[in-house]
Amino acid sequence: MSANQSITKPIAFRLRPVERRLILIAVDLLVSYLALLISLYFWAQRDQWLHFSWEFLKQRPPLWFMFLPFLWILLINELYDPHRSSSPKETIRGVLTGAATGFGFYLVVFFLSDPDSLPRQGVATFLIFSAVLTFVWRLVYIKIFTAPSFIRHVLVVGAGKAGSSLCSAVNKIKPPPFMIAGLVDDDPEKFGRQIENCFPVLGRGAQLESLIYEHSITDLIVAISGEMKPEMFQALVNAQEKGVSVRSMPSVYEELLGRVPIFLLQSDWILRSFVDEAQAGGFYEGLKRLIDIVGGLIGTLFLVVLFPIVSIFTLIETGWPVIFTQKRLGMYGQEYNTLKFRTMVQSADHIKAQVTTTNDARITRVGRVLRKSHLDEWPQFLNVLRGEMSMVGPRPEQSDLVAQLQANIPFYRARLLVKPGITGWAQVNFGYASTVEDTAVKLEYDLYYIKHRNLLLDLVILLRTVGTVIGFRGT
């Protein structure tokens, strides 16, 4: 192969996750607007004067009705995860959860509104047809985009801990996000080895160009933790100049899993990620606080209704107290008293701080129901109003546990750079952590949130939390 010959051309339809997400959003909007048109047609058939006409469209549907497709996109936001969107089971669950959440919200608004002020049939028809059409289109998407011709071909540069971790992560994702043809590494002892029992080390950096051509590679993922040799660096530059995508392992890890690889990061990562790259602006912080106040007020109103019901069941089973208070660390490590419905036996607060396990014997029967539905967190809306917590953020933790965990988990104290939240990116993706290993995974999610936090991500987390409560998927 000549020096000037192109190594390979990335095939246009081998799409990256962000490109697939854009396609999903665009077609979801299209089918939801088709559902909107169908709902308007059926609504018009009941109109004895105008029927389905331009006059009907101008006079009957309120302006907000035309924005229902955008609400539908928010309701099914879980299905924009590249892995969930490729799973028929997750697609069914996501569509049903979105429809149920939409119906639930609308029923609350409908019964609080003036009689005959809202189009009950129009909204119900929209949600039904949106669910059906979205499900049909998503099955077509799965059939097409999980075909081999749409899978990107990847070569991992570096067969050490970082490269092995990436291969392990990809191995657990079904269907796989891309095909790893193999790895390259300059360590001669690694030649011919199988990483994760299925990914071969194909050669060294000097062979990079020929390996790319031989395996039709579209992407190189650099997983070199230490110093890179000049020859390897030049080979990567040459590959990028000839059309191959070159990315770092941490960025791919974040894209695939929605979390950061804390055990593979350099010590200055906090400075680069949170000081140089992830400073949230004053507008975001101000609007987030406004959302916290509004959310806190709404949550407190529901708490007034919820409190006597929970109190009765708690008193019958285990007696007082109903509300449990405990010292937790807030933003910048400042202590505050968090409020929760008590879910454990009364003696639990006298036991040394420990991580809650899945089948913790301290949890009462009422407490298990409260945890499953996340209703035990409801009194924390008062903490939100007081400014000690936010609607979205890392889970608040006891100071003793923080001291224990930061000794074993790198960057653990970095989660204190923002206010703790009632819900968060770690909670909607992982749930409760029962071991140090689980806690490390949750920290990876928390740090991803802190690094990428914005209003859209906050809204996605809040909507996914609603889906978790409706689906009774707490622990």
pLDDT of residue 49: 55
Helix (H) or strand (E) holding 399: helix 399-406
Do 307 and 360 fall into the same domain? yes
Q: What are the residues facing 17 on neighbouring strands?
A: none
> How many helices (DSSP H) and strands (DSSP E) are in the chain?
17, 10
> Does the model's pTM come out above 0.85?
no
Amino acid residing at 346: Q
Do 102 and 162 fall into the same domain? no
Find how far residue 391's CA is from the centre of its chain. Answer: 16
User: Can the peptide bond before residue 177 be classed as cis, meaning omega within 30 degrees of 0?
Assistant: no
Distance CA 354, CA 433 (A): 11
Distance CA 340, CA 188 (A): 57
User: Quick check: is 252 in a domain?
Assistant: yes
* Token pair recorded at residue 380: 């924390």
Instruction: Name which of 386, 400, 467, 451 is nearest 84 in CA terms.
Output: 467
Distance CA 328, CA 337 (A): 6
Do 250 and 396 fall into the same domain? no
Do 306 and 412 fall into the same domain? yes
Do 120 and 241 fall into the same domain? no
Do 131 and 188 fall into the same domain? no
Query: Which residue range is the domain that position 433 belongs to?
Result: 282-470
Do 364 and 408 fall into the same domain? yes
pLDDT of residue 154: 93
Instruction: Name which of 120, 157, 136 is nearest 28 in CA terms.
Output: 136
User: Quick check: is 5 in a domain?
Assistant: no
Q: Residue 178 in contact with residue 219, Cβ under 8 Å?
A: yes
- Give the Å distances, CA to CA, from 337 to 246, 324, 397: 48, 10, 11
SS3 393: coil
Residue reference for tokens 């095909």: 179
Distance CA 410, CA 417 (A): 15
pLDDT of residue 9: 47
Distance CA 460, CA 280 (A): 17
Do 139 and 170 fall into the same domain? no
Domain count, the chain: 3
- Give the Å distances, CA to CA, from 275 to 40, 268, 281, 457: 50, 10, 12, 20
| pLDDT 10s digits, 274-302 | 665 556 677 888 999 999 999 999 999 99
Do 138 and 197 fall into the same domain? no
Torsion of CA 433, 435, 441, 443, to 10 degrees: 70
User: Quick check: is 68 in a domain?
Assistant: yes
User: Quick check: is 6 in a domain?
Assistant: no
* Token pair recorded at residue 289: 């606080």
Residue where a domain stops, chosen among 108, 126, 145: 145
User: Quick check: is 323 in a domain?
Assistant: yes
Task: Kindly report the backbone phi and psi dihedral angles of residue 68, in degrees, each rounded to the nearest multiple of 5, phi listed first.
Answer: -60, -35
Q: DSSP letter at 396?
A: P
User: Quick check: is 10 in a domain?
Assistant: no
> Dihedral of CA 318/324/326/330: which sign?
positive
Residue reference for tokens 């593979």: 264
Do 141 and 156 fall into the same domain? no
Distance CA 291, CA 286 (A): 9
E-only strand ranges, 179-244: 179-184, 194-195, 199-203, 219-222
Do 316 and 420 fall into the same domain? yes
Q: Residue 65 in contact with residue 37, Cβ under 8 Å?
A: no
SS3 394: coil
First CA to last CA across the chain, in angstroms?
Answer: 58
pLDDT of residue 112: 65
Do 231 and 247 fall into the same domain? yes
Distance CA 8, CA 153 (A): 11
- Give the Å distances, CA to CA, from 102 to 179, 335, 447, 456: 37, 38, 30, 19
Distance CA 383, CA 391 (A): 10
pLDDT of residue 459: 87
SS3 222: strand
CATH number, domain of 178, equals 3.40.50.720
- Pairing relation of β-strands 194-195 and 199-203? antiparallel
Distance CA 100, CA 29 (A): 19
Residues of the chain with pLDDT under 70: 1-15, 46-53, 112-118, 268, 270-280, 347-360, 467-475
Residue where a domain stops, chosen among 117, 145, 173: 145
User: Quick check: is 42 in a domain?
Assistant: yes
User: Quick check: is 191 in a domain?
Assistant: yes
In terms of C-beta distances under 8 Å and separation of at least 24 residues, what long-range contacts does 321-324 make, across chains too? 321/346, 323/379, 324/349
Give the angle subtended at the CA of 72 by the CAs of 293 and 93, to the nearest 5°.
100
